[in-house]
Amino acid sequence: MPRQYKPKTLTTLQIETLINACENLRDKLLLRLLYESSLRIGECLALWVEDLDIERCQISVRDRGQLINRAEIKTPASCRKVDVSRELINSILDYLVVVHTEEVETNHVFIKLHGRRSGQPLEYADVNDLFQRLKKKTGIDAHAHLLRHSSLTSLAKHGWRPELLRERAGHTQISSTYQLYVHPDDEELREAWEQTQERLRLSQPGQEER
């Protein structure tokens, strides 16, 4: 029976390299949000300013159907509240102060910064172009969903239970969480065995008669 599929992930150093290679505040924030929150790219592009709970450091993922930038929530189970750090919330506020000027009419958090469509919601194609530019600059072949995988895999390695991972990921079935993120590698299996093998040890034949 084949072993479970393990999604490709990025190291912390690779993620920091990608963020540092971004040329503006919006792109740096988008990558930080994708990684720290474990949100899907569609959920980030569908994020509205009012979805931010500044006091509680939470982000609400809401289903509003398909939006003007074609961003949408994957499933009804995707609607959830996601805890993030105070540092990330502060970074979002700093970004909003700079970018969401009085001329901006949309309440989408992520918007286009240049060109004739400046101020309109960011689109999937814009994000794909960003990662292509970053690949040329850094040599790192990444995409938005890879940051989500890296985030959830890291949480799993740090002891998050599958049911908690399922809620943060917005999965409909916990089987999806198991298949993607609960997959110990050979080193982890070996370490677990070495820590518990004594508990399974049986008496040698004839040992009790001595």
> At residue 114, what is the residue type?
H
User: Distance between CA atoms of 28 and 53, rounded to whole angstroms?
Assistant: 21
Residue 190 falls in the annotated catalytic set: no
Strands of the chain (E only): list them. 52-53, 58-61, 80-83
Q: One of 74, 81, 137, 183 is an active-site residue; which one?
A: 74
Q: Which of 26, 40, 166, 168 is catalytic?
A: 40
In this structure, are residues 27 and 130 in contact, taking their beta carbons and an 8 Å threshold? yes
Instruction: Name the residue with tokens 């194609």.
Output: 125
Choose, from 6, 133, 137, 145, the residue flagged as catalytic.
145
117 is catalytic: no
Q: Is residue 40 annotated as a catalytic residue, yes or no?
A: yes
How far apart CA 18 and CA 37 sit, in angstroms, is 17
* Bridging pattern class, strands 52-53 and 80-83: unpaired
Alpha-carbon distance of 70 to 29, in angstroms, equals 21
Give catalytic status of residue 181 as yes or no.
yes
Question: Choosing from 26, 35, 143, 181, which is the catalytic residue?
Answer: 181
Place of tokens 């969401």: 100
Q: DSSP code of 118?
A: T
124 labelled catalytic: no
Residue of 148, 149, 166, 168 marked catalytic? 148
CA distance linking residue 160 with residue 38, whole number of Å? 13
Computed from CA positions of residues 80, 73, 9, 20, in that sequence, does the dihedral angle turn out positive or negative? Answer: negative
Active site residues: 40, 74, 145, 148, 171, 181
